[in-house]
Amino acid sequence: MAKISLKFTEEDISRIIEMAWEDRTPFEAILKTYGLDEPKLMRLMQTNLKKSSYKLWRKRVKEKSIKHLKLRSEDVTRAYCPTQYKISR
């Protein structure tokens, strides 16, 4: 099975996968940033991860209502940890 890339660079794919694994990053943020709805994201993850990693991710996503804004508690007011983007360039 070929890796899905659409119009994405390797760096984009890496960031999309990272966002998909992050608990506080909702699917809507990935859709807004990269134009990938959940089914397309699932396809990208399935083709770019090992089978066992993909299954683990799907299990994790199903257990986390925080990945969908509509299901998210009002107590969650941000999409990422305050220290997440502290990488200096």
Convert the pLDDT of each residue in 11-38 to its tens digit: 999 999 999 998 888 889 899 999 999 9
Q: How does the average pLDDT of the chain come out, rounded?
A: 79
Question: For 44-55, what is the mean pLDDT?
Answer: 96
User: Please, which residues have CB within 8 angstroms of residue 17's CB and are 6 or more apart in sequence?
Assistant: 44, 45, 48, 49
Alpha helices in the chain, H assignment, sequence order: 10-21, 27-34, 38-48, 51-63
